[in-house]
Amino acid sequence: MSDNMSNPKSLGNRVGSVQCENTTLHLLKANDFVAKSIRERLKDVCVVNVCSSPGSGKTTLMQETGKRLSKELNIAVLVGDPETERDAVRMREVGINALQIVTGGMCHIEAQMILQALDHINIEDIDLLFIENVGNLLCPSAFDLGEDYRVTLLATTEGDDKPKKYPRMFLTSELMLVSKADLLPYVPFSVDAVTKDAQEVNPNLEVITISTLNGDGLDIWCDWLKAKVQRKKQQYSELETK
């Protein structure tokens, strides 16, 4: 979620669009209510919702991030998939506190799933909670999960035309990670073109190019995360002193 924490993700509009409050029926109002409850519960935890298409490298990124930041931050991950617990197992194998959310075929995670999952994972003293969403660039974009920030991965193998095809995902994200950058010499993908399209949808969108294979951009990504965690702690401290 952006630094303005009062606006649910479901209310985001594309640049140039107008929302008429008196005529718009927000079918996601119940989800937004639960998302607000999650924020109240996790006032001192930085929550990052990681979205992408299947196979873009979310789980590998979570593993590599955990390895790099485990000595500086306490990290937990809620992993969403339609079936199996394979991704959570992969997290635990590298020492990351992880819980699998099996959606039973649903193409996204909803806020009530996160709220229930919080009762089954140890979040005491956690600095950073990742939500690894179900692989999908469409459905998850409409559901606010109580996150502070939404990050969307776009792999170089997917093609650079996705921001205009799936604009809401990029509109409601604070950061786009161009993953699998090590394959750039071998695929028809332009980082400049995808950045231009994405920032036409969302002018405030940050972009980092990464490769979990050779480590390119991961230090920048980790620095971004550390800054966001520090900001959340500062906001919580200021709130407590009021």
26 lies in some domain: no
210 lies in some domain: yes
Q: Give the model's pLDDT for residue 164.
A: 96
Q: Give the model's pLDDT for residue 87.
A: 81
37 lies in some domain: no
| Residue in 113, 165, 161, 164 with CA at minimum distance from that of residue 134 | 113
Q: CATH number of the domain at 175, please.
A: 3.40.50.300
Q: State the DSSP string of 12-74.
A: ---TT----TTT---TTHHHHHHHHHHHHHTTTSEEEEEE-STTSSHHHHHHHHHHHHTTT--
| Residue 46, beta-bridge partner list | 128
| Residue 47, beta-bridge partner list | 129
Q: Give the model's pLDDT for residue 3.
A: 52
206 lies in some domain: yes
151 lies in some domain: yes
Q: Give the model's pLDDT for residue 18.
A: 42
**Residues found in the chain:** 242
Q: CA–CA separation, 127 vs 78, rounded Å?
A: 14
25 lies in some domain: no
Place of tokens 């196979």: 55
107 lies in some domain: yes
Q: Give the model's pLDDT for residue 11.
A: 55
10 lies in some domain: no
Q: Give the model's pLDDT for residue 10.
A: 56
Q: Give the model's pLDDT for residue 27.
A: 57
Whether this prediction's pTM lies above 0.95 is answered by no
Domain count along the chain: 1
Q: Give the model's pLDDT for residue 23.
A: 39
Q: CA–CA separation, 173 vs 170, rounded Å?
A: 5
Domain that includes residue 63, residue range: 44-241
194, 160 Cβ separation under 8 angstroms: yes
Q: Give the model's pLDDT for residue 20.
A: 39
pLDDT of the chain, 242 residues: tens digit per residue = 445 445 666 556 544 444 434 434 465 788 999 999 999 999 999 999 999 999 999 999 999 999 999 999 999 999 987 777 788 888 888 888 899 888 876 788 999 999 999 999 988 899 999 999 998 999 899 999 999 999 999 999 999 999 999 999 999 999 999 999 999 999 999 999 999 999 999 999 999 999 999 999 999 999 999 999 999 999 998 888 87
